[in-house]
Structure 1
Amino acid sequence: MSRSVTSADSGKMALEVLGISQDKVEKSSYNDQKIDIILTDYCMPEMNGYDLLMAVKGNSNVKSIPVVIISSEYDPQRISRCLANGAEDFLRKPLQHKDLQKLRSYVKPSAPVPKTGTKRKVILELIPESGTAETRPRIAGVAVA
């Protein structure tokens, strides 16, 4: 399973990456990326991991993304509060190999890649009535028969 990682230096920057701010939805250059999981430290500049969790879970566009919070501090009240408000997990630093395996279980599997050479369906409205090859739309990755 190959994944790419996008990092943010603060909770506010993470909200920008997600395309949201605390007050409104923003258009971000990262909005085209599919975010599978949010892994955040509890102690960050500008806002803590709990505040980030609440901003994510309060936004209908991104609330389904699993949020995992990590911290070097063991504070049972903090852990309970995060888990009660939608955190998928709360892990302690330093992360162990078993923690990384746990993170994988929180990521939804990607859609299977279609086999090459298979025909795909095209919405009929996309094909002009004349049916000539010159006027048919050219859609990348779609075969029109």
Structure 2
Amino acid sequence: MEELKEMEVLRNGGDDGDVKVRVLVVDDSPVDRKVVGMLLKRCDALFEVISADNGKKAMQILGLNEGNADCPVGKGQKIDIILTDYCMPEMTGYDLLKAVKENDCPRSIPVVIMSSENDPQRIKRCLAVGAEDFFLKPLKAQDAQKLKQYATLTGPTPKAGTKRKLPVDMITDTKDSARRPRLAGVAVG
């Protein structure tokens, strides 16, 4: 019931107008889903969490059902980032990652894999297919903060003429004109 309530909030959008980072948490363990959801909400009030207990349900939420290669952006659910467990029955997190990355959608959804097993070959394989990162369970607060960096936000766009605060990493600390602001580690010109 809570999962349906969270999905309805996302369909209707938030009333507060804040940009939300919508995280689809996919894990077959109800305890792990709950822990990750609580960690994300505690670390940043701007996280909205949607849960799925397996890869197939995640595919349905994303609008990527078998045989349907449509872009999930046109569907009811707009997801900014997927955080999925690696080991799950029926469809692994790796299989979900491949399905999302093989989708022809112009806006690729970032995928972060999590696992309790620190297997370098598994990590390398996931990163090679396009995973943004690989987190070891249990997740930590700094992992939650990293998720914001990877997310492609889908919230409301600021109105023209409104003032916005620049993130600290975009403000130059010298008056040297040769120095350019940085956005996620990329020079803006």
TM-score over 0.5 (shorter chain): yes
CA distance in 2, matches of 1:58, 1:23: 13
Equivalent residue of 1:6, what SS?
Answer: strand
- Structure 1 34/23 Cα, relative in aligned 2: closer, same or farther at 3 Å? same
Task: Name stretches of at least 5 consecutive residues in structure 1 with no aligned partner.
Answer: 116-145
* Greater relative CO, 1 or 2 (CA 8 Å, sep 6+): 2
1:35 offset after TM fit, Å? 0.7
CA distance in 2, matches of 1:108, 1:16: 20
Give the paired residue count: 115
1:113 has 2:158 as partner: yes
Deviations 1:28-87 (A, max 9, x none): 9x9222110000000112111110000110111276110000000011100000000000
Higher normalized strand content (fraction of residues): 2
CA distance in 1, matches of 2:146, 2:131: 14
CA distance in 1, matches of 2:131, 2:145: 17
Q: Is the 8 A contact 1:66 1:107 kept in 2?
A: yes
In structure 1, the residue matched to 2:53 is 9
Task: Name stretches of at least 5 consecutive residues in structure 2 with no aligned partner.
Answer: 1-19, 21-45, 161-189
Amino acid of the residue matched to residue 59 of structure 1? N
RMSD: 2.5
Bigger Rg, structure 1 or 2: 1
Equivalent residue of 2:52, what SS?
Answer: coil
- TM-score when normalising by structure 2: 0.54
Equivalent residue of 1:5, what SS?
Answer: strand
1:104 offset after TM fit, Å? 1.0
In structure 2, the residue matched to 1:86 is 130
